Amino acid sequence: MRIYKVFRAAEWAELERAGETAGSLDDQRDGFIHFSTKDQLGGTLAKHFQGEHGLILAAVETEGLHDRDLKWEAAANGKDYPHLYRPLSLDDVVWHHEIPREGVDTMGLGDE
């Protein structure tokens, strides 16, 4: 299964430079890296990235992550979201693309 992480441009540049990341300031505050499923992405973008541009969407295969590192936990809305309890390596990323201004729905996310 694929899960997705939204990065601001500077966060993505830092991941490319360092080869791994502890995530955004929010991720670091919470102690894990926030991910979304394909169906959760729209809500994540609306709630946490409203009006922002130049965002990067990175896809990660859950099969490449150890169960001890990836936990599915309930958020405030009661839905389970994937949380990664270790740094994300650039090697974990299957692909990444800039999110178009029209939104993630125009990206054609499937089994890419």
Residue 84 phi/psi, 5-degree rounding, is -100, 120
SS3 47: helix
For residue 15, is it within any domain? Answer: yes
> Any idea which residue has 């890419």 for tokens?
112
List the CATH number of the domain containing 54.
3.20.170.20
For residue 109, is it within any domain? Answer: no
Contacts of residue 10, Cβ cutoff 8 Å, sequence gap at least 6: none
Confidence of residue 76 (pLDDT cuts 50, 70, 90): confident
Question: Given a cut of 80, is residue 104 above it in pLDDT?
Answer: no
In tens, the pLDDT along 3-51 reads 999 999 999 999 999 999 999 999 999 999 999 999 999 999 999 999 8
Our count of domains for the chain comes to 1
Q: What is the pTM of this model?
A: 0.90
In tens, the pLDDT along 45-69 reads 999 999 899 999 999 999 989 989 9
